[in-house]
Amino acid sequence: MLFTESVCDRPGLLGVDAALKIARGVVAPVAGKETVALRACAGRITIVPVVSEIPLPPFDQSAVDGYGIHAGDVAAASTGPFQLAGKVVAGSFAAPGLAAGEVVRLLTGAAVPKRVAAVVMEERATARERNVTIEKPAEAGLNIRRSGEDVGIRSEIIEAGTLIDARHVAILSASGATHVKVRRRVRVAVLSTGDELTRPGGSRRPHQIYDSNGPMLQALFSSPALELRMLGCCPDDPKRLTRQIARAARTFDLLICSGGVSGSDADHVVSSVLAAGGSCEKLSLALKPGKPLAVHLSTRR
């Protein structure tokens, strides 16, 4: 196939970003809302800010495997030797009493006992039997993740209007959330137009082609935030197309039509939208294929 000229450099054509801005100008967020379980919230859109009911971390915890140093020894800049008083692992409830001159073995994530003012990495300490010395005096707060350091209690962790992904699921889980308030799914329909089309897998006459745009759009719009329905292929029949558009406008939030807007004798999408009671703006993009585009606002409320 030979092209003799480029249609994309003609004056008056819109770039994709400009066309997208026009399309966004005629849409609004859906008003409905629902509450979904945490396991089903990925891909949905929050409708209100989400706050954490607990601080994160929920308690002072050790950031490393090492030794907890008593506050008095930190203040005195002591390097030991210290007496090993016990061990605390992540998830342990028991915390040994600690006196000056003693250290406690702490593993990463373990709750920091009271009176511990610093945690020295095990690589910076030497342990012989139950005696521990450290390379240099520890600074107060060393290697301790303080309660609420990442997230304060009742702090906002997810903004309204956020598309939830794995990162958000992680912090929701960490905060103990079990359900999230989200917008209802956007109801979207996809309709392919043209006498030449038939659905894949169906019977095909010699002068027809299988519809590829419809399945492609279905794949592009596959999302947990959308309720998608394929309306199949509609022939180039203005009355039939008008009826389908009118029915779709009563049921769906968004109708995506493929084909039928170029302006030839067989293109009836724009006129059918108007006949169905909608308004329509025809655009020309600096794009090939895909130059003709029509954006319409349904009369449905």
Half-sphere exposure of residue 240: CA atoms within 13 angstroms, side-chain side: 11
Say if residue 299's pLDDT is above 50.
no
Segment 92-120 mean pLDDT: 90
Range in 12-26, 37-51, 214-228 with the lowest mean pLDDT: 12-26
Segment 207-225 mean pLDDT: 92
E strand or H helix at 226, and its extent? Answer: strand 226-234
DSSP annotation of 114: T
User: What Cα–Cα distance (Å) separates residue 217 from each residue in 93, 150, 211, 260?
Assistant: 54, 41, 11, 16
Q: pLDDT category, 203, cuts 50, 70, 90?
A: confident
As a whole number of angstroms, the distance between CA 249 and CA 255 comes to 7
pLDDT, one tens digit per residue, over 171-189 is 999 999 999 999 999 999 9
| Other beta carbons within 10 Å of 3 | 7
Range in 106-110, 160-164, 293-297 with the lowest mean pLDDT: 293-297
66 φ, ψ to 5°?
Answer: 180, -145
Q: pLDDT category, 278, cuts 50, 70, 90?
A: confident
Q: pLDDT category, 5, cuts 50, 70, 90?
A: low
- Chain position carrying tokens 């709750």: 111
Q: What superfamily in CATH does domain 61-145 come from?
A: Molybdopterin biosynthesis moea protein, domain 3. (2.170.190.11)
Domains 16-32+185-297 and 61-145 alike in fold = no
Segment 161-167 mean pLDDT: 96
Residue 289 pLDDT: 80
What class is the 16-32+185-297 domain?
alpha beta
Residue 301 pLDDT: 39
Mean pLDDT of the chain: 90
Domain boundaries, the chain: 16-32+185-297, 35-56+153-182, 61-145
| Other beta carbons within 10 Å of 80 | 17
Segment 61-87 mean pLDDT: 95
As a whole number of angstroms, the distance between CA 272 and CA 300 comes to 15
Q: Please give the share of the chain, as a percent, with pLDDT higher than 90.
A: 68
Residue 1 pLDDT: 58
Q: pLDDT category, 292, cuts 50, 70, 90?
A: confident
- Chain position carrying tokens 């016990």: 86
Say if residue 144's pLDDT is above 90.
yes
Residues facing residue 115 across a β-bridge: none
Burial of 120-158, coded b for 16+ CB within 10 Å and e otherwise, reads bbbeebeeeeeebbbeebbeeebbbbebbeebeeeeebb
pTM of the model: 0.77
Q: Please give the share of the chain, as a percent, with pLDDT higher than 70.
A: 94
Segment 164-169 mean pLDDT: 96
Segment 233-249 mean pLDDT: 93
280 φ, ψ to 5°?
Answer: -150, 140
Residue 28 pLDDT: 85
Helices (H), 32-84: 71-75
Domain 35-56+153-182 indexed as CATH 3.75.10.10: no
Residue 113 pLDDT: 93
E strand or H helix at 120, and its extent? Answer: strand 116-121
Residue 6 pLDDT: 63
Segment 284-294 mean pLDDT: 84
Q: 134: which residues sit within 8 A by CB, 6+ positions away?
A: 67, 69, 79, 80, 82, 120, 124, 125, 126
